[in-house]
Amino acid sequence: MFDVLTEYWPEFRSGFWVTCRLIVASFLVAMVVGTLVAAFRIAPNKWLQRLGGLYVEVFRNVPLLVLLFISYAGLRRADVDIGPWTAGIASLGLYTAAYVAEALRSGVFSVGKGQIEASLSLGFSYAETLRRIVLPQAFRTVIPPLGSLTIAMIKNSAIIGVSLLALPDILKQARIVQARTFETDVTFFWAAVGYLILTGAATLAFRFLEKRFSIAR
Amino acid sequence: MNYLFSPDNWEWLWTGNNARFILEGFLINLEIAVVSIIFALIVGLILALLRLSPIKPVSFIAGAWVDVFRNLPLIFLILYFALGLPSSWKQAWEDAMPGWAPEAFQSGLVLGAFLGLVLYNSAVLAEIMRAGILSLPRGQGEAAAALGMTRAQSLRYVILPQGLRRMVPATVSQLITLNKDTTLVSIIAITEVMRRGRIVTSSGFFVEVQAPILQVFIFIGLLFVIVNYALSRLSRRLEIRERKITGTKMKRVSGVEDVAVETA
């Protein structure tokens, strides 16, 4: 059982790092774009709200695999020079951003209206209210859903490698090793360990954040 | 933009039977989703009950099972079952499949797809159901016990009807995710909508017009957006109705993209 792991250690290790890089980069894209879209959705302008809503509905309801096909094979056929990394990170990031936007928006709405009114009547400006009253509290409520999204994103990252993109992540490397050794069970067991390490680490990290920033009652 | 909307690049849609070919493929995806969600609901309920069992080892094993399958990528499971299942199983599936079943279900590879989809989604749904059951006030179970009901009776008549009701919107949300995930079975060579899209865009002697990849997959993406948007509206309506009746709040189920469960 361990001989497959030791013999093909370079493959497993590089696959693990490729997956790590993919999820870190996609997470950043998802957070930035998600925050922007959430800002659109709570903006006072109706058209901005609709634009944000359209983004969320489209990217939340389309399969990630379709996004990957569009952004890589589709754009390349259309003579757009896009690399596998860019396409993979953009697809996963933009896809997750729709969920991030929804989580952030519901976080902002979870702060009671009375608090905002109280803050405004105390003479805080709108920006100050947002920065000092709303966002710190919204941040707390948003941590658990962001944790779920991050775990879902780690799992979704496996789609990138096996679809047409030439990105050798954990699953892709497992397939390569499996094709060489025919040890399907053992190879996939070690790949599973790789994914469980990542999802487990994300679970623990977000649990820690949740505790760290929870309101003492 | 010119490339995207140029009529030349959309000609494939009304040439030959391309559109029908893709729509039929999309129907296969929906069929796979419906069959999987039915089995996943049954298995998920069993897993949830096992996890809530008062017998410690049973609940521990069920919990570990659920947590492992919930935290592995679905594509990983599908690929593993497609590669790892003994061919005698696949043969048995092909022999057992009746002739009237959809054509895509005839291949033994579908067994791997279904195993992956059902195992993954049953773990997710088990967690949703468990959250739904645990969200009930403790008094419900205690009252049932005080009335002299056995544990089975209190589950059957008191706990499950209320607990499962609360998870209906979450299940519809999960159906949306599952619907998207059915595209993953294209990886193991089942000719559903993604494979059909590839066929349409490939050049071959049976292809009249070679379709551009971008437009074909935008079209396929739109199909998913339409169906899943309708489902998400349905889920929201159910959620609002449920909240009005029971006065509950939503609680998220961890590790899932878009699923929340109502709690008191």
pLDDT, tens only, A184-194? 888 999 999 99
Which spans in B52-108 are helix H? 56-70, 74-84, 87-96
B2-41 as b/e, with b when 16 or more CB fall inside 10 Å? eeeeeeebbebeeeeebeeebebbbebbebbbebbbebbb
Q: The domain spanning residue B114 has which CATH number?
A: 1.10.3720.10
- Among B75, B215, B254, select the one facing A148 at the smallest CB separation: B254
Question: What pLDDT sits at residue B223?
Answer: 93
Tokens of A186: 């053992």
pLDDT greater than 90 at residue A21: yes
Closest B-chain CA to A142: B252
User: What residues of B are in contact with residue A191 (Cβ under 8 Å)?
Assistant: 76
**DSSP H or E stretch at residue A136:** helix A135-162
Does A160 fall in a domain? yes
Q: In angstroms, rounded to a whole number, what is the distance separating the alpha carbons of residues A19 and B142?
A: 48
Average pLDDT over residues A168-179: 89
Question: How many structural domains does chain A have?
Answer: 1
Taking CB atoms and an 8 Å limit, are A61 and B181 in contact across chains?
no
Does A173 fall in a domain? yes
Taking CB atoms and an 8 Å limit, are B183 and A149 in contact across chains?
no
Q: In angstroms, rounded to a whole number, what is the distance separating the alpha carbons of residues A17 and A202?
A: 15
What proportion of chain A, given as a percentage, has pLDDT over 70? 98
- Among A149, A178, A195, select the one facing B83 at the smallest CB separation: A178
Q: In angstroms, rounded to a whole number, what is the distance separating the alpha carbons of residues B151 and A28?
A: 49
Residue A2's pLDDT band (boundaries 50, 70, 90)? confident
Question: pLDDT tens digit string along B131-157?
Answer: 888 888 888 888 988 998 888 888 888
A203 touches chain B (CB under 8 A): yes
Question: How many structural domains does chain B have?
Answer: 1
Question: pLDDT tens digit string along A22-42?
Answer: 999 999 999 999 989 988 888
Taking CB atoms and an 8 Å limit, are B184 and A65 in contact across chains?
yes
Torsions phi, psi for B256 (to 5 deg): -115, 145
CA distance to partner chain B, nearest, from residue A89 (Å): 17
pLDDT greater than 50 at residue A145: yes
CA distance to partner chain B, nearest, from residue A55 (Å): 11
Taking CB atoms and an 8 Å limit, are B186 and A69 in contact across chains?
no
Taking CB atoms and an 8 Å limit, are A66 and B254 in contact across chains?
no
Long-range residue pairs from A46-52, CB within 8 A, at least 24 positions apart, any chain: A52/A101
Does A21 fall in a domain? yes
Residue B237 is part of which domain span?
A: 2-263
Residue A178 is part of which domain span?
A: 2-212
Does A186 fall in a domain? yes
Q: Which of residues 50-109 of A touch B (CB under 8 A)?
A: 57-58, 60-67, 69-70, 73-75, 77-78, 99, 102
Closest B-chain CA to A102: B258
A155 vs A5, residue with greater confidence: A155
User: What residues of A are in contact with residue B253 (Cβ under 8 Å)?
Assistant: 148
Is B194:A66 a contact under the CB 8 Å cutoff? Answer: yes
Question: What pLDDT sits at residue B215?
Answer: 87
Average pLDDT over residues A88-92: 94
A115 touches chain B (CB under 8 A): no
Question: pLDDT tens digit string along A42-83?
Answer: 877 899 999 999 999 999 999 999 999 999 888 888 888 888
Does A165 fall in a domain? yes
DSSP B85: S
Find tokens 């209320």 and name the residue.
B162
Taking CB atoms and an 8 Å limit, are A162 and B232 in contact across chains?
no
Closest B-chain CA to A207: B254
Tokens of A69: 């096909």
Average pLDDT over residues B234-259: 68
A130 vs B121, residue with greater confidence: B121
Residue B262's pLDDT band (boundaries 50, 70, 90)? very low
- Among A144, A192, A203, select the one facing B72 at the smallest CB separation: A192
Is B170:A41 a contact under the CB 8 Å cutoff? Answer: no
DSSP A132: I
Does A217 fall in a domain? no
Average pLDDT over residues B183-190: 86
Question: pLDDT tens digit string along B11-45?
Answer: 777 777 888 888 988 999 999 999 999 999 999 99
pLDDT greater than 50 at residue B261: no
A179 touches chain B (CB under 8 A): no
Question: What pLDDT sits at residue B211?
Answer: 77
Taking CB atoms and an 8 Å limit, are A77 and B212 in contact across chains?
yes
